[in-house]
Structure 1
Amino acid sequence: MKPLAVFDIDGTLVDSRASIHEASCEAARALGLPEPDYDRVRQGVGLSLTEAMRRLEPGLDATELAAFVAAFQSAFRRLYDSGHEEPLYPGAMEHLHRLKADGWRLALATGQNRRGVTRNMMREGWAHLFLSSHCAEDGPGKPDPAMLSAAMRACDACPATTVMIGDTAHDATMAVNAGVLPVGVAWGFHTAEEQWAAGVVHVASDFTDLEAALARFADQTHLQRLTA
C-alpha cells in the first residue's frame, strides 16, 4: 500500500490569494480598520480564521474580534454568491489523479471551516479523490498536530508512512509536531525561506517536482518496510 499524502487546500491546491486578501480588506473596512496589505494577510493563512484575524488586529477585544471574523465570512460568502470560484493551480487536478491511480491514499488538512471544505469537496472529482478531510473546526488548528493525527487514523496510516504537503510554515510545523514528513510548495502564501525555517525537507517548484519528491518518499517507505 502506498503512503498517505495529506494536502493543504489554500495556496497548495487552490489559488485563493486574491479572494482572501479582498475579503480581509472588506472586513477591515466594515469595522473601520485600516486595510491590511497582502504581506500581513498571507502570514496568517493556514491558521484557524479566528487566529488569523487576531494576528491581523491583535488589539481587538473578544467582541470586536468576533465581529471581524464574521465580517470576513460575510465578505467571502458574497464573493461566492456572485459566482466566484477560486481556481485550482494549473496541474493540481492531474497531479491528484496520478497519485490516486498510483495507489496513494489522499486526505485534506486545512485551516478552512467545514463550510469551506464542503464547498471544495463539491469540485468535480474531489469527493472520489480524498479518503478524509480535516479542518480547524474539528479541533485544534495548525500548527497543532490534531488534524494530521485524525487523518492518519481515518486512513490507516502512521507518521512513517505519511507526508504533509502545504505552502506555509504552519503546515510544516504541524507536520513536525506530528512526526510526519513536511514537504512545501513554492507557489502559495509563504516563501520558500519561511517554509525551510519551519522544517520542510523539500520545497517543490511545480507539480512535476512535487511528484518526484513524493515518489522518492514512497520508494524510501517501501524499502524501510522490506528491511524492517
Structure 2
Amino acid sequence: MLIYKNRDIRGVILDIDGTLIDSLSQYHEYFNRGLEEFALSPAPRELLFECLGMGIGLRDILRRVTSSKLEDSVIDKIAKWILAEFVKVDMDVPLLPGVVETLEFLKAEGARIGLATGRASGGAYEWERLEHVGLAAFIDVILTAVEVPNRKPAPDLIVACARGMAVAPADCIAVGDTVADIIAARAAGAIPIAVCTGVDGAEKLKTGVPAAVIDRLDEIMALFQKQRVR
C-alpha cells in the first residue's frame, strides 16, 4: 500500500506527453511544419508551450499563434495537417527516464494506474500508442480530452479517470508537467504532483500549488518510501 502524508493512496493518475513520453520537441517541430505548409510564420517554442501549459486545444492554439483572423476552415486544415503528419512519428517517440521502473513500483505496491491526457486523440489511439512503447500492461484506464465535457484545468478528466479505476479522487495522486494538470488535480480533490520533464519549469509549476515538485517521474518512488519510513 502506498502512503503519502498519512493518506492511503489507491490510485495514481498520470499525464502522458511530457510526463511519460518525450514528445514535446517533436510536436513543436510538426506544429511549425504545419504553419509553414500554409505559408505562416513558425511559432516560438515558448509560446507553444505556454499554450499547452494552459490546456488549450490545437485549434485555439493556432488562432493564438497566428495572431490573425483566419477562417475556421483554414484553421481546421492546418490542424488536420499537423495531426496527420505528427501521427506518423508519434508511435516512436521515446519514453522519459525512469518511467518503466516507476510503473513497476506502483503496480508492485498495488496501486491502480490511470492516464488522463489533454490530447483529443481518443482512448483507442492512446491504448495503441501505449502498447507500442510497452506500457499498456501497467495501465488500468486511459481517458482523453474528447471523453469529458471540459479540458484541463477543469477537473473532469481527473474525476472520470478516478471513477474508471473505482477509486475516489481523494485517494489518488495525480502527476503532470503543466500548471493545468496541477490545477485540475487539485480541483478534483486528488493530490497534485508536478514533474519538470515537460512543458512548464519548476517555478511555473509552483504557481499551481502542487504538493511536491519532482525533476523526473521516478523521484515519486522516494516520496512514498519516505512516508513509509516515518
Q: Normalised by the size of structure 1, how large is the TM-score?
A: 0.85
Residue of 95, 106, 120 corresponding to 1:88: 95
Distance 1:181 1:54 in 2: 33
In the TM superposition, 1:189-208 aligns within 5 A as 189-208=199-218
CA contact (8 A) 1:12 1:185 kept: yes
**Residue in structure 2 matching 1:134, options 134, 143, 149:** 143
1:96-111 matched pairs, under 5 angstroms? 96-111=103-118
Could you say if the C-alpha distance between residues 124 and 77 of structure 1 is closer, same or farther in structure 2, counting changes exceeding 3 Å?
Answer: closer
Give me the identity figure in percent: 26
Asked whether the equivalents of residues 127 and 142 of structure 2 are also in contact (C-alpha less than 8 Å), the reply is no
Aligned equivalent of 1:119, options 94, 111, 128: 128
Q: 1:58 to 1:7 in 2, by over 3 A?
A: farther
Residue matched to 2:198: 188
CA distance 1:92–1:208, shift in 2 (3 Å): closer
| Alpha-carbon distance in structure 2 between the residues aligned to 1:61 and 1:174 | 31
Instruction: Choose which of 87, 93, 98 in structure 2 pairs with 1:77.
Output: 87
Equivalent AA in structure 1 for residue 19 of structure 2: T
Which segments of 5 or more consecutive residues in structure 1 lack a partner in the other structure?
224-228
Contact 2:101–2:218 (CA<8 Å) still a contact in 1?
Answer: no
| 8 Å Cα contact 1:49-1:111 kept in structure 2 | no
CA offsets 1:84-127 (integer angstroms, 9 cap, x no match):
61100121111111111111110000022126513322235422
Counterpart amino acid of residue 215 in structure 2: S
Query: Partners of 1:55 and 1:168 in 2: how far apart?
Result: 19
3-state SS, counterpart of residue 213 of structure 1 = helix
- 1:168 deviates by 0.6
Deviates more, 1:51-60 or 1:204-213: 51-60
For structure 2, the residue ranges without an aligned partner over 5 or more in a row are 2-8
Determine whether 1:166 maps to 2:168. no
Cα distance in 1 for residues equivalent to 2:225 and 2:64: 37
Greater relative contact order, per chain length (Cα 8 Å cut-off, separation 6+): 2
What residue number does 1:150 align with?
160
In 2, Cα distance between equivalents of 1:5 and 1:172: 14
Return the alpha-carbon distance in structure 2 between the equivalents of residues 92 and 174 of structure 1: 22
Local SS of the residue matching 2:137? helix
Query: What's the offset of the Cα at 1:216?
Result: 5.7
Task: Provide the TM-score with structure 2 as the length reference.
Answer: 0.85
- Deviation of residue 41 (structure 1)? 1.6
